[in-house]
C-alpha cells in the first residue's frame, strides 16, 4: 500500500492574539492523533459533507495517504502540541477545474481536532500560512476553501479573514446537513495586492524569499 508522501516544509506564524503556531510535516507516526480527531462526531459534523460520525484507522490512513500524493499535509502545533491538521492540495474538483482550465488551482482543507482550540484564531493563521506558502513558494494562481457548509460559520469566517471571498454558493439536495455549501477563493493578483498593502502581515522569511518569478508584473 502507498505510504504517506512526506515533504520537508515547516511554516511558522502567530495568531492575532500572539499565540505561536507551527505547521510541521505530517508523518506516518501521526495516526493516533489523526484517528482520534477523525472519530469525534462533533469535529466530523463540521469537516465532512455527509453524515460521518467516525472513521476507522484504515479509513484515516487511506484518506491522508491518498491526499498526500498531491498535497503538502501538515500537523498544526500550538506550544509544541499537535492540535489539528491541514493541507494544500492540487485542485481535484471538476466544478472548479472546468472554470479555470489554464490556472494552477489548489485547495486548503483544515481540521482543528482539539475542540478547546476552536475560535482562537488558529484556523485563520494556519490558512494564512498555507496561502502564503502556496502563492510565494509554489507559484500557485488561485487557492480555494471548498464546500464550506452554511452552518460552519467558523470555517467561512476563518477563510474570509485570511483574504478569501465566496465565489460559489451551491444548493444541496434536500436531506443533506447543509442547505448550501460555499466555495471561497483567493487569486494570486488579490493576494499580492493585499500582501503589498499590509506588508506587516507577512513573516520576514517569506518576504525575503519572494522570487522575481512569482511577482505579478
Ligand atoms: C473551521 C476551523 C478550522 C476554524 O478555525 P478556528 O481557529 O476555530 O477559527 P478562527 O478562530 O480563526 O476564526 C473563527 C471566526 O468565526 C467566528 N465564530 C466562531 N464561532 C462562531 C459562531 N458560532 N457564530 C459566528 N461566528 C463565530 C469567530 O469569532 C472568528 O471570527 P472573528 O475573529 O471575526 O470573531 C476550526 O473551527 C475547525 O477545525 N472546525 C472543525 C472542522 C472544520 O470545520 N473544518 C473545516 C471544514 S470546511
What residue numbers bound the domain in which 128 lies?
Answer: 11-210
* Count of structural domains, the chain: 1
DSSP secondary structure of 83-111: EEEEEEEE---HHHHTT-TTS-EEEEEEE
Residue 217 lies in a domain: no
- Taking residues 37-56, report their average pLDDT: 92
Decide: 122 in ligand 1 pocket, CB within 6 A.
yes
Strand pairing category for 81-90 and 71-78:
antiparallel
pLDDT bin (cut points 50, 70, 90) of residue 197 is confident
The residue nearest atom 27 of ligand 1, judged by CA position, is: 154
CATH of residue 147's domain is 3.40.630.30
Model pTM above 0.85:
yes
Q: Is residue 198 part of a domain?
A: yes
pLDDT at 212 over 70: no
For ligand 1, whether the C-beta of 123 sits within 6 Å is yes
Residue 101 alpha carbon to ligand 1 centre in Å: 31
5 in any annotated domain: no
CA 159/CA 53 separation, integer angstroms: 25
Could you report the per-residue pLDDT of 77-86, keeping only the tens digit for each? 999 999 999 9
In a domain, 2, yes or no: no
pLDDT grade, residue 207 (50/70/90)?
Answer: very low
Report the residue among 119, 126, 183 best suited for mutation to probe ligand 1: largest number of ligand atoms under 8 A from its CB: 119
Amino acid at each position: 500500500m502507498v505510504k504517506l508522501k512526506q515533504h520537508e516544509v515547516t511554516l511558522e506564524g502567530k495568531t492575532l492574539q500572539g499565540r505561536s503556531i507551527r505547521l510541521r510535516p505530517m508523518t506516518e507516526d501521526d495516526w493516533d492523533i489523526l484517528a482520534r480527531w477523525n472519530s469525534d462526531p462533533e469535529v466530523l459534523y463540521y469537516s465532512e459533507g455527509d453524515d460521518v460520525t467516525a472513521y476507522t484507522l484504515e479509513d484515516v490512513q487511506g484518506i491522508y495517504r491518498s491526499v498526500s500524493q498531491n498535497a503538502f499535509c501538515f500537523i498544526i502545533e500550538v506550544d509544541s502540541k499537535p492540535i489539528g491538521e491541514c493541507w494544500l492540495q492540487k485542485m481535484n474538483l471538476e466544478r472548479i477545474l472546468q472554470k479555470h482550465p489554464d490556472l494552477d488551482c489548489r485547495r486548503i482543507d483544515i481540521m482543528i481536532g482539539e475542540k478547546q482550540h476552536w475560535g482562537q484564531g488558529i484556523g485563520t493563521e494556519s490558512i494564512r500560512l498555507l496561502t502564503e506558502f502556496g502563492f510565494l513558494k509554489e507559484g500557485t494562481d488561485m487557492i480555494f476553501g471548498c464546500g464550506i457548509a452554511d452552518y460552519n460559520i467558523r470555517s467561512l469566517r476563518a477563510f474570509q479573514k485570511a483574504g478569501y471571498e465566496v465565489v460559489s454558493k451551491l444548493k444541496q439536495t434536500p436531506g443533506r446537513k447543509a442547505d448550501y455549501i460555499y466555495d471561497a477563493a483567493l487569486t494570486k493578483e488579490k493576494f499580492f495586492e493585499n500582501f503589498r498593502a499590509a506588508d506587516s502581515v507577512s513573516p520576514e522569511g517569506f518576504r525575503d524569499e519572494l522570487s522575481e518569478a512569482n511577482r505579478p508584473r
